[in-house]
Structure 1
Amino acid sequence: MMSIGSYVLLGLAIISEVVATSALKASDGMTRLWPSFLVVGGYAIAFYLLALTLKTLPVGFVYAIWAGLGVVGVALTGAAFFGESFTPIKLAGIALIIGGVALVKGSTA
């Protein structure tokens, strides 16, 4: 049985993964202590929450959402905080990721 709570947990897992991946960039190869702690803690939380969502949601759907929206979140974070480019091609790639996630969701209905 799917519940709103499962989607909330999935959203929190995605946020945690985006924070951890962004901290990975900030850790400078895991040489900076506090960002490195954030990497390890963020991924631990992300995987724990992801595991909880798999109790009620299909694994293919969960992984598509988690990975796809994680990529989008990291791309946006990279542009906002690390000065990474946000080109029309990158925007098109993000649109394709979102479209792919929608197709995976449509196939699980």
Structure 2
Amino acid sequence: MQAVTSFFNLSLLLVVLAAALDVLANLLLAKSGGFRRRWLGFFSLALVGLAFYCLSLAVRNMDLAVAYAMWGSFGILGTSLGGWLFFSQKLRPCAFAGMGLLMTGMVLLHMS
């Protein structure tokens, strides 16, 4: 049980929350049409600010390199899947293989 609770800790949850906010910000930025819908664009910027705040809380108890790498990886993964699901962007099979490698890398990085 100790291994499970050490793997899923508050810092990891904050990194995941930061990444989720970042993904939402990216998707809203795409919906803003290059800030033609300004309220979506500004809301996107506010979400990025909240994402950085969550990341700053996470690095209190997690190495910066690990937190930043995981945040970036979750962000890439979420934004790619979000574009595929919500904007019908095409992803080749090698993109899905790369996402699997990202997830494997994040698990290994967090376990180190």
Pairwise same-fold verdict (TM > 0.5): yes
Is 1:95 matched with 2:100?
yes
Match for residue 73 of structure 1 among 70, 78, 91? 78
AA matched with 1:61:
V
AA matched with 2:23:
V
Aligned ranges for residues 1-109 of structure 1 at < 5 Å? 4-107=9-112
- Change over 3 Å in CA distance of 1:73–1:43 after alignment to 2: same
1:105: Cα distance to partner? 2.4
Superposition RMSD on alpha carbons, in Å? 1.7
Name the SS of the counterpart of 1:64 in structure 2. Answer: helix
TM-score, normalization by structure 2: 0.84
Which runs of structure 1 show a deviation greater than 4 angstroms over 4 or more consecutive aligned residues?
Answer: none
TM-score, normalization by structure 1: 0.87
Where structure 1 has 5 or more consecutive residues not aligned to the other structure, the ranges are none
Where structure 2 has 5 or more consecutive residues not aligned to the other structure, the ranges are 1-5
